Amino acid sequence: MKWIQVKNYTEMSQLAARIMTEKIAEKPNATLGLATGGTPEQMYRWLREYSAERQLSFRDVQTFNLDEYIGLGREHPNSYYQYMRTHLFAHIDLPEAHAHLPNGLAADVNAECLRYEALIEQAGGIDLQLLGVGKNGHIGFNEPGTPFTSRTHLVQLTESTRAANACYFSSLEAVPTHAITMGIATITKSKEILLLASGREKANVLAELMRGEVTEELPASVLLNHANATIIADEDALAFSIVAKRK
């Protein structure tokens, strides 16, 4: 795994957006794996800007988001579909039928998970998967202890994850208790992975990751064995890792 240290959130966002833009320039029908959360917000803004500057089209791109809350439909203001609409989809020419997220209202959740996996396969697999990382090392909604062999599945959100996301809802109670998430094996099948981390609140988890132990107790550590994974992290996120990194 490659580590890239950048100065701050803006540099992280710009570099990630350049890599995403380059992927679309290189492969106009690329399949992109997308993430939500605070971390990639500014990256999406730069992606819109850089792709517009280069007059790149998303017409033939397909996107697959990591996860979606159970119980929230696409039109719900807190659904990840709405997040994506706000930050990316409304601003680009990606056909609506090419923007995939798990269906949080599916009557049969298991069938929905299988459908999502099959769709990714049909699209030829994910060329470039964007990830954030939780303070506990989760990727997608795969919390510590999730098997590395997991595929898209139903998860019960941990209290710490619900609390971390409560700022987007009217109250903690309003945060859904379950979600559908790509599994860890779904994520690691991606040809290339880009994990972004910014801010002091990620410093502990990156220091853990830098110790180099691959364990299901730290889901992001699976990336240490991936052939083409890069972490772009800013100085704050690497505050406790720099010494180890230079060893």
The sign of the CA dihedral 115, 121, 123, 129 is positive
Interface with ligand PGA (CB under 6 A)? 37-39, 132-134
From 87, 98, 100, 138, the catalytic residue:
138
Q: What is the closest distance, in whole angstroms, from the C-beta atom of residue 202 to ligand PGA in the complex?
A: 7
Told to judge if 136 belongs to the known catalytic residues of this protein, a careful annotator would answer yes
Q: What is the closest distance, in whole angstroms, from the C-beta atom of residue 164 to ligand PGA in the complex?
A: 6
Measured CA to CA in angstroms, residue 86 lies from 11, 45, 91, 118, 133 at distances of 22, 10, 8, 27, 21
Show the DSSP H helices in 100-179 as ranges.
109-122, 159-165
Closest CB to ligand PGA among 56 and 205? 205
Closest CB to ligand PGA among 9 and 89? 9
Number of residue whose CB is nearest ligand PGA: 37
Told to judge if 143 belongs to the known catalytic residues of this protein, a careful annotator would answer yes
From 68, 117, 136, 153, the catalytic residue:
136
Told to judge if 60 belongs to the known catalytic residues of this protein, a careful annotator would answer no
Closest CB to ligand PGA among 56 and 179? 179
From 65, 67, 98, 142, the catalytic residue:
67
Q: What is the closest distance, in whole angstroms, from the C-beta atom of residue 197 to ligand PGA in the complex?
A: 8
Integer Cα distance of 143 and 168 in angstroms: 20
Convert 69-81 to b/e letters by CB count within 10 Å (16 or more is b): bbebebeeebbbb
Question: How many angstroms separate the first and last alpha carbons of the chain?
Answer: 16
Tokens of 160: 């710490």
Q: What is the closest distance, in whole angstroms, from the C-beta atom of residue 16 to ligand PGA in the complex?
A: 12
Show the DSSP H helices in the chain as ranges.
9-26, 41-53, 80-87, 109-122, 159-165, 184-188, 203-210, 242-246
Told to judge if 213 belongs to the known catalytic residues of this protein, a careful annotator would answer no
Closest CB to ligand PGA among 36 and 56? 36
**Catalytic residue positions?**
67, 136, 138, 143
